């Protein structure tokens, strides 16, 4: 962006249904705007149910946080 340009953020829409289960996590749908301005639906992890791993070690992250850095803090 150049000086004087504004970036408009479109709202993100979270749905409570449907909920599906994949190994170790529950997924819900979310409507977002892609980099071309097109609205698309994606799955996001809404809840972890089993251990997660990072670099081969058990790493159970926060399910939500007020910053990206705080998402990386291990639970427990």
Express each pLDDT in 30-64 by its tens digit. Answer: 888 888 888 889 998 888 888 888 888 888 888 78
CA 14 to chain centre: 10
Express each pLDDT in 64-73 by its tens digit. Answer: 888 888 888 8
Rounded Cα distance between 42 and 18, Å, is: 12
pLDDT of res. 9: 63
Q: Please name which of 44, 40, 12, 15 lies closest in space to residue 27, comparing C-alpha atoms.
A: 44
* Percent of the chain topping pLDDT 70: 87
* Residue ranges covered by each domain of the chain: 13-71
Report the half-sphere exposure of 18 (CA within 13 A, side-chain side): 5
């Amino acid at each position: 962006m150049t000086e004087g340009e504004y970036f408009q953020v479109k709202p993100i829409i979270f749905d409570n249904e449907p909920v599906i289960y994949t190994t170790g996590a529950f997924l819900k749908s979310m409507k977002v705007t892609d980099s071309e301005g097109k609205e698309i639906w994606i799955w996001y992890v809404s809840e972890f149910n089993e251990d997660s791993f990072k670099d081969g070690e058990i790493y159970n992250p926060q399910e939500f946080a007020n910053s990206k850095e705080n998402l990386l803090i291990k639970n427990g």
